[in-house]
Chain A
């Protein structure tokens, strides 16, 4: 006899497609972000195949341009930005604050449909021939010269932005107004803090890219010359507007992963986080300071040197709160009772790879060095260390950590460890050589390169094939576990937190009655902070 849970509360397609349950919506997002990840990955595969040889022999340059554009658009807007917030955030924020659902369940469902609609527009752009402007849509190429399907792609991004906005809106109101009695701000899990900070960015930043891509579409369709140099329009203005969102967007992509890591290191070190308030406030600091650095993408665009100076300096500052997190995670693990289960392996991977990515970001923040490596594979490697070595490992770690709670099933720890290892090895083999190639001058977004750089590209493509296997494995064993996995108890890891107090999988209403919280949710050891003996 199956115990009642949100999974069997209502059967049939309609009960899923018209659900208001945040947990079911999280699974809807899980299915769709996975699909988009596969699509984005296929574009990446074509890129790496082309780059096996120095000559541009697999794809024409126009087609290659479309490959990296679609890879970027799909991965950034349809995978990285929604992944953790829309899957893990949607599922766990209500439970972690002690609520029955998010503040606006119907808006939550609408956000998924908006996401799908945006995805369809982008698919339409891809199927009708693709876009070749790069995911950054720089003008005047995108508005005047490109003869690819810019408008469709721009509209796809515009529409999907609203999904992000609605998710952030829901999280902010939920965290402010729906906390259970006794759940004060400083008793919240750090996962919630990081999602709160992420939501601030979603709210303040996304509308700016919305208007910007709308202007690009308007300029193409209506021939209004806002960015047109022939009229005295300034293409750099586009870059200012674009990066005003797109830099904070990278913090949308990494902050939730940081929240996941904060949770995982505590559980698998059997220790409270070191410096809870510092980690909590560092999330807010990253969100706010992250809005002040966008000009570091415009160092060689014609931006004034003085503005570049300011942006460079603040870009150095923004590394500080991230570093605080890394120090605090390390201090948490130190002298903890460490278990190397697969979520923890991903957490370790995150900490190391994010550190490398972050440090290379500092290289790029230095204007002089940036002039040398701008638009080279150095930059590509930097952001992939953060996005893939950081964000995706955080996503996979969180998915594995909370999988038993979400599905009520245990996955194969053996295969999970293999996959984590393959991802780590494959990732480094793919992207470390790109630092070298970039520093040696290999430009990004070119389908050919000088022959002396081939060895780095071959290593990179080889690594990519290993990485692909590493990603394919969870797809298989996690799916398998949903049908044939050992059933999980409420708390298979021995973890602390409201989500581990409820059954696996949780009932639709999350809790019976209203939970009364009497102290902080992460209490692995006696703590002065909340006065428990």
Chain B
């Protein structure tokens, strides 16, 4: 009968005695004690790589998060093609297009903001790019506020007060449910993005970012661009499918 292993002798393992860092395993040592180096990382490079990968993994979760709504859109549009076209025609595609361009500009300024940190530009320059990004983000939200209140006024908010002047009220109500859920979720992400940018802009203003350390700007930029990409899909799918349908606004 085999003995219990619980008090067995310690077996020598496969490792050499863990040495202090030896020459051949050392990564670049030039920023070995950068004040922003977290101590479980070997060096700033590893920290940046890990943080970037982490943000990308998070963005994948965001793709799947919005993806559920796109799935609902896909199915209901397939099931109610004409209703969706009719419903979409009541959205203001001009302002939708303006908002699209506003976000694209904000992505440009965001990319320039990251670049300014990478190239160790003066804090004022970094903050300028970040503030530009935030202004366009705010402008986007402003347009959405106008759009939403317009919908409220025209009884296009799904629920007990929904009134549809056209031929397909049920399909239209589903369309507008999706419209509000998708653009609403997108707007919440924009607001969170603005909050992020505020923090980043304050840190940039204090001179925290330069070529040796710009990780927070980089990963905030990734988030911002992602929110832009969601809109790149939302705009045509929500605003443009009824563009040639009967009479719009």
A101 at the interface (CB under 8 A from B): yes
Scoring B2, B18, B38, B61 by chain A CB atoms within 10 A of each residue's CB, the highest score goes to B61
Name the one of B3, B16, B181 contacting A516, with C-beta atoms under 8 angstroms: B16
Residues of B within 8 A of A232 (CB): 76, 79-80, 170-171, 174
B108 at the interface (CB under 8 A from A): no
**Of the 9-residue stretches A7-15, A72-80, A387-395, A496-504, which lies at the interface with chain B?**
A496-504
* CA gap between A268 and B4 in the complex, in Å: 10
Residue in B closest to A492 when the chains form the complex, CB atoms: B6
Whether B72 and A241, one on each chain, are in contact in the complex, defined by CB atoms closer than 8 angstroms, is yes
Residues of B within 8 A of A107 (CB): 54
B75 at the interface (CB under 8 A from A): yes
- As a 0/1 sequence over residues 197 to 227 of chain A, the CB contacts with chain B under 8 angstroms (1 = contact) are 0000001111110111001001000111110
Whether B177 and A207, one on each chain, are in contact in the complex, defined by CB atoms closer than 8 angstroms, is no
Whether A516 and B68, one on each chain, are in contact in the complex, defined by CB atoms closer than 8 angstroms, is no
By size class, the interface of chain A is 35 or more
Residue in B closest to A222 when the chains form the complex, CB atoms: B159
Rounded to whole Å, the gap between the CB of B8 and the closest CB of chain A is 4
Whether B61 and A493, one on each chain, are in contact in the complex, defined by CB atoms closer than 8 angstroms, is no
Contact A226:B10 (CB < 8 A) given known A169-B58, A203-B61, A338-B2: no
Whether B5 and A494, one on each chain, are in contact in the complex, defined by CB atoms closer than 8 angstroms, is yes
Whether B72 and A226, one on each chain, are in contact in the complex, defined by CB atoms closer than 8 angstroms, is yes
Rounded to whole Å, the gap between the CB of A343 and the closest CB of chain B is 9
A519 at the interface (CB under 8 A from B): yes
Contact A225:B16 (CB < 8 A) given known A210-B65, A339-B2: no
B158 at the interface (CB under 8 A from A): yes
Residues of A within 8 A of B173 (CB): 225, 231
Contact A494:B67 (CB < 8 A) given known A203-B57, A513-B21: no
- As a 0/1 sequence over residues 5 to 39 of chain B, the CB contacts with chain A under 8 angstroms (1 = contact) are 11111110111101111100100000000000011
* CA gap between A518 and B61 in the complex, in Å: 36
Whether A413 and B174, one on each chain, are in contact in the complex, defined by CB atoms closer than 8 angstroms, is no
* CA gap between A104 and B158 in the complex, in Å: 42
Residues of A within 8 A of B15 (CB): 498, 501, 515-518
Residue in A closest to B80 when the chains form the complex, CB atoms: A232
Residue in B closest to A496 when the chains form the complex, CB atoms: B13
Residues of B within 8 A of A51 (CB): none
Whether B6 and A410, one on each chain, are in contact in the complex, defined by CB atoms closer than 8 angstroms, is yes
Name the one of A102, A168, A211 contacting B68, with C-beta atoms under 8 angstroms: A211
Whether A224 and B68, one on each chain, are in contact in the complex, defined by CB atoms closer than 8 angstroms, is no
Rounded to whole Å, the gap between the CB of A318 and the closest CB of chain B is 20
A382 at the interface (CB under 8 A from B): no
Whether A205 and B64, one on each chain, are in contact in the complex, defined by CB atoms closer than 8 angstroms, is yes
Contact A223:B14 (CB < 8 A) given known A203-B61, A413-B6: no
Can you show 7 pairs from A to B with CB atoms below 8 A apart?
A103-B50, A169-B54, A208-B65, A218-B181, A230-B170, A491-B10, A521-B13
Binding site for B on A (CB under 8 A): 99-105, 107, 165, 168-170, 172-173, 176-178, 181, 203-208, 210-212, 215, 218, 222-226, 230-234, 237, 240-241, 267-268, 337-341, 410, 413, 489-498, 500-501, 511-521, 523
- Having A172-B53, A494-B5, A495-B11, one finds 6 other A-B pairs with CB under 8 Å, namely A169-B57, A173-B50, A176-B53, A177-B49, A207-B67, A493-B8
What 3 A-B pairs have minimum CB-CB distances, sorted nearest first? A211-B68, A494-B8, A207-B65
